[in-house]
A and B are shown apart, each in its own frame.
Chain A
Amino acid sequence: MSALTDLTLKAALDGLAAKDFSSVELTKAHLAAMEGARALNAFVLETPDEALAMAAASDARRGSGDAGALDGAPLGIKDLFCTEGVRTTAASKILGNFVPPYESTVTANLWEAGAVMLGKLNLDEFAMGSSNESSAFGPVINPWRANGSDRKLTPGGSSGGSAAAVAAGLCLAATATDTGGSIRQPAAFTGTVGIKPTYGRCSRWGVVAFASSLDQAGPIARTVEDAALMLTSMCGHDAKDSTSLDVAVPDFASFAGKSVKGLRIGVPKEYRVDGMPAEIETLWSQGIAWLKSAGCEVVEISLPHTKYALPAYYIVAPAEASSNLARYDGMRFGLREAGSNLTETYENTRASGFGEEVKRRILIGTYVLSAGYYDAYYLKALKVRRRISNDFDDAWTRCDAILTPTAPSAAFGLGENASDPVAMYLNDVFTVTVNLAGLPGLSLPAGLSSEGLPLGLQLIGKPLDEGTLFSLASVMEKAADLKARPKPWW
């Protein structure tokens, strides 16, 4: 890894501002790293020409002194964000070679801030998965390996490409999305920082929809400060998204390094699940200790409906997905497999265009919304969702933020959970509650497993209180002082 790709986003922006190097140089270094890391399968599309043109334009802006907040920083974009004139696939065959004639609001915000696009990042098909194995482009490989092992590990999902690329130094930071943990679990598996902001912070306009009431964009970066810098540029009110929040966007990076003295940290007893590895328990205790020594007060809290969260999530998300994905019908864009009549064309197109996991969720979603099942499943799930939200509301009377593990294990091997969808869904056990309640959740690397793999802790905040999460996370980041990076084997 060259020095330029080792820089944090913050350091790179400082270097650009100081004219230590140009954006073109920085971008070329990352393009070279990408080329050398194709074995990771992190990118589904590299856009070097666009990247260099954007970098040159950025250097020109720097020259004339009107640089934006992220000017010249090369980023990776999860291929769920529509990018004008650049193929967007959601890692699905059904979108074929779809080239959007529009730019998602979040990426448009980044380009407005001067950022440079390196390419489109791999993901689970339509962001449905926890291992990146459902991608039509094949799985992403985690740049991390267990000590002394060459077994291929998952970077997690669905933002596996984003997490792997950031961890491997292929981009300074990346966009990601999180419907049930798709930013936080991959961040935990790759030793990176990921935050899913409050629902409505980032516009969903131009992001291929999975489950509208849960989907939320956010960044993956290598440091807490970098994630804060990214989020500040990504979010903001958008009149084109009716669920977008019309609230001011603070300078999130200013919260990193702030004192957390006197903050009350909730530790939910229901998150101590059966079969959780002891080293995750230990890590969690370590996190609690760090915050205590920084002056936080730690309180045990109860989120009594936690055990219903995963089933509720796997009803609500597929229900919305079954409807959101109805537009992929072969009629206007993407794949079309003609049949002898309309129904056959629909069947052929969707049968060959969607992968197994997507089909499974469409079937589940269709089932739970069907006449006679709606009340028992979908309506019940909405009630559970309300209870989970109430649990958090109650918790906020006793604490200012909540600390939990991000995932119940370290990164697992490719193929390990592939045959058991339910085991795969269990990866989301600590993260889905946050989406169901629309809260901000941040994952940061807090230690390494006995096998030398990164482990993450999750901070959950009050609505719109991302600032506190960044303050707490930066305290923990400093305390953890993790120097380990994946050793390049690719």
Chain B
Amino acid sequence: MTSQAKLIEGRTGQWEIVLGLEVHAQVNSRAKLFSGAAVGFGAGPNEQVSLVDAAMPGMLPVLNKHCVEQAVRTGLGLKAQINLKSRFDRKNYFYPDLPSGYQISQFEFPIVGEGQVEVERDDGSTFTVRIERLHLEQDAGKSIHDMDPHSTYVDLNRSGTALMEIVSKPDMRTPEEASNYVKKLRSILIYLGSCDGDMEKGNLRADVNVSVCRPGAYEKFRASGDFKELGTRCEIKNVNSYRYIREAIDYEARRQVGILEDGGKIDQETRLFDPTLGETRSMRSKEEAHDYRYFPDPDLLPLELDAAWVESLKADLPELPDEKKARLIKQYGLTSYDAGVLVAEAARADLFDVLAAKHDPKLTANTITQSLMTFANATGADVTANGVAHIDAGALSEYLGLIEDGTISSKIAKEVFERMTAGEGAPKAIVEKHGLVQVNDTGALEAIIDKLIADNPGQAASVKEKPQAIGWFVGQVMKETGGKANPGVINGMLKSKLGL
């Protein structure tokens, strides 16, 4: 399905948004792209800096093969063309957090070419985002301007860290489509293990290109490929949350419409999003843009990949979200929605696979997508293949077993789960400790039911005409038993006693 543009109502008519993203994903690697230095979060300032990272005289870059492998795997995950020959170029500019005075990137010949990603909208419909390219490059260090009123401090720990820049075509038309694209991309990266997807730490961040046009123009662009059909774009740098992506686009699109409707014209520029004000502001105009003087890095040979090696990586790729979703639907009969929720996080789907091997798939899916995810969200813990926080897969399996064999009712199950989250221990122990076993004792239930029917002759009579009114009796029995009665057993007994 193609994109559905968001319309902005202006004074002079309607406008549409066109969005393209450049996502920077830090490669999951223990070492940097061109030096042996370690990569890690939380080290003291300038503690993870090699002589190469500090650009000492005579130091030379040596490509980290692990990073190349991750870029190729990511390209394969994006169903993209893998370029067996690519090249590293230097992007030249001066800044204190760029010690060599150039960033090693891939300008003309990226390692990965065109690909595509299927993205779900919030309503469950899907659309395709075409990938333009993926290339490897170094990250810069960090300039810290607010530690001292007169000085800027530089931390080079991040300097030289490997990034994959994933460039999309302008295929997104609403803020939601853009943020869902990043969500999907993040999910694929985490499945592949090529990036940890940690947006808070800046390990995944997006540059968002926003332009607006009149209805019809985008379709002309798609037919001709001519960017002149589209409006002038502004690039919002380094947005690192789904919410900020949506807010930044919303603000920026309205800003551009405002200018155009006042007869102005959009300046192509780089902008920054200020989350506290909810605004974008100009960082540098096209005139101030650097002339990066790209040229092939003479310290590095062209990167040539062996086709057989690429094939072997392809064969070893893990099951990715789209394939996993299709399998869950086919293998377990899950709904598209449940399967979608489960595969959104690799670990969530892994946990499902572990539990569904032994338990009812629908019950398992509900338990994960409802009880477990609510708990995970509330505590901020991650869902992993081993469970969430102290609730491990073993405890979950025991819990599902108790429901399946009728030991606890769904109502009691809720209480058991709450006690599990509170750290009261294993589900069986909780059930025993609090006497939460479902009442299956027909003698005890029979007495309660007989008394109910005797006390409420009117209700008992009306059930014969309105069989669904049996629910009232079921509810009363549950109330009497403190929710411990087995609803199936109650139903059967009531039906026979009431002559249904």
Contact = CB atoms under 8 A, between A and B. Distances in A.
Contacts of A242: 60-63, 299-301
Given A323-B90, A329-B101, A212 B58 contact: no
Contacts of B100: 326-327
Contacts of A98: 57
A243 interface: yes
Nearest to A325: B101
A212 B56 contact: no
Nearest to A333: B56
A contacts with B: majority SS: loop
B57 A90 contact: yes
Q: Which residue, of B60, B94, B152, B299, has the highest number of chain A Cβ atoms within 10 A? A: B60
B102 A326 contact: yes
Contacts of B299: 209, 212, 242-243
A38 interface: no
A218 B92 CA distance: 30
B60 A241 contact: yes
A211 interface: yes
Given A211-B298, A239-B62, A374-B295, A326 B96 contact: no
Interface string B91-107: 01010100111100000
Interface string B282-317: 000000000101110011110000000000000000
A346 B298 contact: no
Contacts of B56: 100, 102, 332-333
Chain A to chain B: the 9 pairs with minimum beta-carbon distance, closest first: A326-B101, A212-B298, A213-B298, A369-B293, A327-B55, A206-B58, A208-B57, A82-B58, A371-B291
A329 B54 CA distance: 12
A102 B102 contact: no
Interface of A: 81-82, 88, 90, 95, 98, 100-102, 104, 204-209, 211-213, 239-243, 319-320, 322-323, 326-327, 329, 331-333, 342, 346, 366, 369-371, 374, 378
B58 A104 contact: yes
Contact of B62 (A102, A104, A240, A374): A240
B54 A332 contact: yes
B contacts with A: majority SS: loop
5 contacts: A82-B57, A209-B57, A320-B295, A327-B100, A331-B99
Interface of B: 51, 54-63, 90, 92, 94, 96, 99-102, 152, 154, 291, 293-295, 298-301
Contacts of A331: 96, 99, 154
Contacts of A241: 60, 62
B298 A326 contact: no
A369 B63 contact: no
A103 to B, nearest CB: 10
Given A243-B300, A323-B295, A378-B295, 10 more contacts: A82-B58, A208-B58, A212-B298, A242-B61, A242-B300, A242-B301, A326-B102, A329-B94, A331-B154, A369-B293
Q: Which residue, of B57, B152, B154, B293, has the highest number of chain A Cβ atoms within 10 A? A: B57
Given A100-B57, A208-B58, A327 B101 contact: yes
A90 B58 CA distance: 11
Contacts of A206: 58-59
A207 B58 contact: yes
B293 A323 contact: yes
B293 A320 contact: no
B101 A204 contact: no
A298 B341 CA distance: 79
Nearest to B95: A342
Contacts of B291: 370-371
B94 A243 contact: no
B60 A205 contact: yes
A101 B59 CA distance: 12
B101 A369 contact: no
Nearest to B96: A331
A366 B295 CA distance: 11
A34 to B, nearest CB: 25
Contacts of B295: 319-320, 323, 369, 374, 378
Q: Which residue, of B56, B96, B100, has the highest number of chain A Cβ atoms within 10 A? A: B56
A211 B298 CA distance: 8
Nearest to B143: A342
A341 to B, nearest CB: 11
A102 B51 CA distance: 9
Nearest to A200: B301
